[in-house]
A and B are shown apart, each in its own frame.
Chain A
Amino acid sequence: MTKKSRSPYSAMHTGPGRALTAVYGVFALSATARAGYQLIREFDVAPIAYTLSAFAAVIYIVATVCLVIGRRISHRIALAACGIEFIGVIVVGILSYTHPEDFAKPSVWSNFGSGYGFIPLILPLIGLWWLIRVGRRANRD
């Protein structure tokens, strides 16, 4: 912080972005813990659902780290992570209804994240909205 001036993209994790980053952090931690447990203890029960759980955990970690870094490149990566996250929730949500046998055990994104109060469905939309807003401001300055 002493050598370089703050990147305009550090706005990613200040103000409302502070709370957004915290929610992403909570999801990164809890999704990782849950996916870790599922992979170690009961992977054979629902391998597709649990692999997707692990994938979701990785996406949440990437998004959180990029929000915390708050620079131009991490802004791009965070946008991509939120996009993948939204597509993931939609695809897994649909698959969990069309192929319920592969989703016998719940994962973060199954049933559009209903097990987590639909936060997984709303979070990427808020994330994308916030990141686009921060990006526009950074370009204007």
Chain B
Amino acid sequence: MRHLTRGSARHPENVRPVHDYTGAVFTVYTIVLYAVTGILTLWSIVETIRNRPAGKALLGATALLLLLLIVQLILSIATFGSTHDVDPLLYFGYVITAILVIALAGFWAFAELSRWGPGVLAAAGLTVVVMIERLDQIWQ
């Protein structure tokens, strides 16, 4: 039995292939989320230090992260209850808060024409990195 990072595969009653597949998809998806959020955060910090306002590329990256978080919400709604005993209020509370943080930070950052636009995105990005970590813990 292959040990996936998602807790589902460890339960004897949950060894059917469909659950392994779901677990693997979520693991890969979490890594993608970390990567995109990490890149957005570091990039925003660099732009803040370089004294540049938030440009179109950074706007695109923020939109991409927002899209990925919405997909995460849809994926977790679709698979919720199939493998885990997770409190939905806790889990979806985090997902929806993360979506709100990125959406609002996006608007807020692009209303600013100084280095503090990317500064806003850096703060939001750091928050979402922590939230992804919490989501991963809760899901397991």
Chain A positions within 8 Å of B, measured between CB atoms, are 14-19, 21-23, 25-26, 29-30, 33, 36-37, 40-41
Could you tell me the distance between the alpha carbons of A44 and B131 in the complex, rounded to whole angstroms? 25
Contact B93 A19 (CB under 8 A): no
Could you tell me the distance between the alpha carbons of A18 and B116 in the complex, rounded to whole angstroms? 6
Contact B108 A18 (CB under 8 A): yes
Asked if B112 is at the interface (CB within 8 A of a chain A CB), the reply is yes
Q: What are 14 A-B contacts defined by CB distance under 8 Å?
A: A14-B112, A14-B114, A15-B116, A18-B109, A18-B120, A19-B119, A19-B120, A19-B123, A22-B105, A22-B123, A25-B104, A29-B101, A33-B94, A37-B93
Contact B116 A33 (CB under 8 A): no
Q: If A33-B93, A33-B97 touch, does A26 touch B112 (CB 8 Å cutoff)?
A: no
**A-side contacts of B101, CB under 8 Å:** 25-26, 29-30
For residues 102 through 124 of chain B, which have their beta carbon under 8 Å from a beta carbon of chain A?
A: 104-105, 108-109, 111-112, 114, 116-117, 119-120, 123-124
Chain B positions within 8 Å of A, measured between CB atoms, are 87, 89-90, 93-94, 96-97, 100-101, 104-105, 108-109, 111-112, 114, 116-117, 119-120, 123-124, 127
Could you tell me the distance between the alpha carbons of A19 and B126 in the complex, rounded to whole angstroms? 13
Could you tell me the distance between the alpha carbons of A19 and B121 in the complex, rounded to whole angstroms? 9
Contact B87 A22 (CB under 8 A): no
Q: Which of A26, A37, A40 contacts B123 (CB 8 A)?
A: A26
Contact A26 B108 (CB under 8 A): no
Contact B124 A26 (CB under 8 A): yes
What is the predominant secondary structure among interface residues of chain A facing chain B? helix
Q: Nearest-CB distance from B31 to chain A (Å)?
A: 23
**B-side contacts of A22, CB under 8 Å:** 105, 108-109, 119-120, 123-124
Q: Which of A15, A16, A40 contacts B89 (CB 8 A)?
A: A40
Could you tell me the distance between the alpha carbons of A89 and B11 in the complex, rounded to whole angstroms? 43
Contact B127 A26 (CB under 8 A): yes
Contact A18 B114 (CB under 8 A): yes
Could you tell me the distance between the alpha carbons of A126 and B97 in the complex, rounded to whole angstroms? 25
Q: If A26-B123, A29-B101, A40-B89 touch, does A15 touch B114 (CB 8 Å cutoff)?
A: yes
Contact B108 A21 (CB under 8 A): yes
B96, B97, B124: residue with the most chain A Cβ atoms closer than 10 Å = B97
Q: Which of A25, A36, A37 contacts B108 (CB 8 A)?
A: A25
Q: If A41-B87, A41-B90 touch, does A19 touch B97 (CB 8 Å cutoff)?
A: no
Q: Which of B87, B90, B97, B117 contacts A18 (CB 8 A)?
A: B117
Q: If A29-B100, A29-B101 touch, does A19 touch B90 (CB 8 Å cutoff)?
A: no
